[in-house]
Chain A
Amino acid sequence: AQRVTQPEKLLSVFKGAPVELKCNYSYSGSPELFWYVQYSRQRLQLLLRHISRESIKGFTADLNKGETSFHLKKPFAQEEDSAMYYCAPHKSQGNLIFGKGTKLSVKP
């Protein structure tokens, strides 16, 4: 069965602090991994995908196949990072499922 676990519903940090949003997945085969973000009153949108090895808005994500984890990290959080973050494993042949999300709150 496909399952995505984001253990923290809420993560609250101060501006400038490091942040790590955890994601563990259970998925048949080897899915591609994505993080989506939803800022207040905006649409859900793609933040980054693992394959690109990119840093978007200072965020990176490390895939650990042994632990089946795909944690999202940023060394210095900014207030504008406050949003809901969703981990999403996906295979091209299947549907797209999401974790329950982690609400990141960055305090000034």
Chain B
Amino acid sequence: DTGVSQDPRHKITKRGQNVTFRCDPISEHNRLYWYRQTLGQGPEFLTYFQNEAQLEKSRLLSDRFSAERPKGSFSTLEIQRTEQGDSAMYLCASSSIPARDFDTEAFFGQGTRLTVV
């Protein structure tokens, strides 16, 4: 499978624990995005990388959240001291750097569903 892959697919954790998710983008894609999606809502932007540089972070990304993309390939999203409100689907997407605006197409992974109990 050459698409975007995310691991794990499901994670159940106790409140206060730390969790880490991984995203492997399509290999030639420079950009990598993280989103959070709750039931009935659209994907909410969290952060994105261009190669290894984190270019933008949403205000949704509190101090407990950190994302890395150390070698410009895979990325990790860590949530420290999880809270019940963190329960959501975490989506990763990747794209190439578009030469023109309309060249952009983001390819999504299946997501990691986090449940904090």
Enumerate chain A interface residues (CB-CB to B < 8 A).
6, 9, 31-32, 34, 36, 43-46, 49-52, 86, 90-92, 94-101
The answer on a CB contact under 8 Å between A43 and B104 is no
B interface bracket (residues with beta carbon within 8 Å of A): 20 to 34
Annotate B72-111 by CB proximity to A: 1 below 8 A, 0 otherwise: 0000000000000000000101010111111111111111
- Supposing A43-B108, A44-B108, A45-B108 touch, asked if A98 and B42 sit within 8 A by C-beta, the answer is yes
Enumerate chain B interface residues (CB-CB to A < 8 A).
3, 33, 35, 40-43, 45, 48, 55-56, 91, 93, 95, 97-111
Q: What are 15 contact pairs spanning A and B, CB under 8 A?
A: A9-B40, A32-B101, A32-B102, A43-B111, A44-B108, A46-B106, A49-B102, A51-B102, A86-B43, A92-B101, A92-B103, A95-B55, A95-B56, A96-B106, A100-B40
Q: Which chain A positions have C-beta within 8 A of B108?
A: 43-45
The answer on a CB contact under 8 Å between A100 and B33 is no
Look across to chain A and name the residue whose beta carbon is closest to the beta carbon of B109: A43
The answer on a CB contact under 8 Å between B41 and A91 is no
The answer on a CB contact under 8 Å between B102 and A52 is yes
Look across to chain B and name the residue whose beta carbon is closest to the beta carbon of A9: B40
Q: Which chain A positions have C-beta within 8 A of B3?
A: 43
